[in-house]
A and B are shown apart, each in its own frame.
Chain A
Amino acid sequence: MKSRRDRIDVIYDILTSIEKENGNIKPTRLMYKSNLSHKLMKAHIQELLEKKVIEEVTVKEKRFIILTENGKELINQLRKMKRFLDSFGL
C-alpha cells in the first residue's frame, strides 16, 4: 500500500473536491476537503491556475475556485492514468 499521496493523487483530489461541490468551491473548504496544508495547497492552486485547469472568481466579495473545461478533461485523464498505474501495481 502507498504510504503517502503522490502528485497525481494530490491534483486529482483537489480537482475532484471542486467537482463534488458542483464545480465551485471556497478556498478554505477546498483546503479542508483535499486534506492539504495551506502552503501546499497554495502552490498547487497557483500551478493549476497557470495551466487554466481552474479559475478564481469573486461573487459578492467572496472568492471561489471553479473548474474549467480543461479541468474536467484533466480529471478524466488522471482517472485513466491512476487506473493504468494501478493495473501494474505502481
Chain B
Amino acid sequence: MYSLVFSPKWFFGIDIIFEIVSIFIALLISFYGYKIYKLSKIKEHKYFSISFFLIVLSFVFKILTNFDIYYSVLKPIQIGSKIVLFNYLYSSGILHLTGLFISRLLMIAAFFVLFLLTERKYPRKDIYLMGYLLFISVIFSVLFYYIFHMTLAVIVFFICLNSYENYKKIRKSSKFIVFLAFLLILVSQLAFSLIFFEIESYVIGETLMLIGFFVLLYNYLTVSRE
C-alpha cells in the first residue's frame, strides 16, 4: 500500500527529532503537574497532568506512524511475467491508519481537557456532546487530514482566549508566556492545515509547534528557578 507523506523529503526524520524534544518537555510538565496533584489532591491538577501525558502519548503514536511511513524497503512486484524490485514506501495500511487515528484522538483529548481546565466550567452534558463531536471529527480527519488540524486550531484558539483573559486579570510575564506558547501552537495548526496547498507548511507547522513547547519549557524553568 502506498502512503501519502505530508512532508518534504529533506525533512524526513527531522520532524521525529522535533517531536521527541516536545515529548520530553510535555513529560516534564506532566510530572510536575502530578507532583502538584500529589500535594494538593485537587482533581484539576490531576487532569492538567493527564492532559500533558496525553500529548506525550499522542506524539509517541505519531512517531511510530511516521516510522512506518518512512520505512523504505525493496519490495518485489510482479509486472506481467517479470518480477522487478521497487523501492517504495512500505506501510501496513491498517496499522498506519490506526496509529494515526489514536495519535489524533489523544492530541484532541489532551487539548480539550486543557480547554476545560482553563474554562473552569464543567457542564457534564456539554462535555459529553463536545467529546462526541470531537470524536466524529477525528474519524473524518482520517479521510480529510485538515479537519484534525482545523479542529485542534479551534480548541487551541479558545485556550488562547482563556490564557489571555487570565493574563488580563493580573498582568504577569509568566501568564503572557503561556498565552504566547498556545498562540504558537495555534498558528502551527493553521500551518498544518495548508499542507495540501504548500508542502513546506509542514516544516513551518512542526517548527512553530516545537517553539511553542520550548516557550512552555521556558515558563516552567523560569517559574521553578525564581
Contact = CB atoms under 8 A, between A and B. Distances in A.
Interface stretch (A35-43, A54-62, A65-73, A76-84): A76-84
Interface in B136-151: none
Interface residues of B, number: 28
A84 B224 contact: yes
A46 to B, nearest CB: 16
Nearest to B32: A84
A51 to B, nearest CB: 10
B162 interface: yes
Given A80-B223, A80-B226, A86 B172 contact: yes
B217 to A, nearest CB: 12
Given A86-B174, A87-B178, A81 B39 contact: yes
B172 A87 contact: yes
B175 interface: yes
Contacts of B220: 84
A6 B175 contact: no
Given A8-B40, A84-B223, A89-B163, 13 more contacts: A11-B39, A80-B224, A80-B226, A81-B35, A81-B39, A84-B219, A86-B172, A87-B177, A89-B165, A89-B175, A89-B178, A90-B48, A90-B118
28 contacts: A1-B169, A6-B42, A7-B40, A7-B42, A8-B39, A8-B40, A78-B39, A81-B35, A81-B36, A83-B174, A83-B226, A84-B220, A84-B224, A85-B45, A87-B172, A87-B177, A87-B178, A87-B223, A88-B166, A88-B178, A89-B120, A89-B163, A89-B165, A89-B166, A89-B175, A90-B44, A90-B48, A90-B118
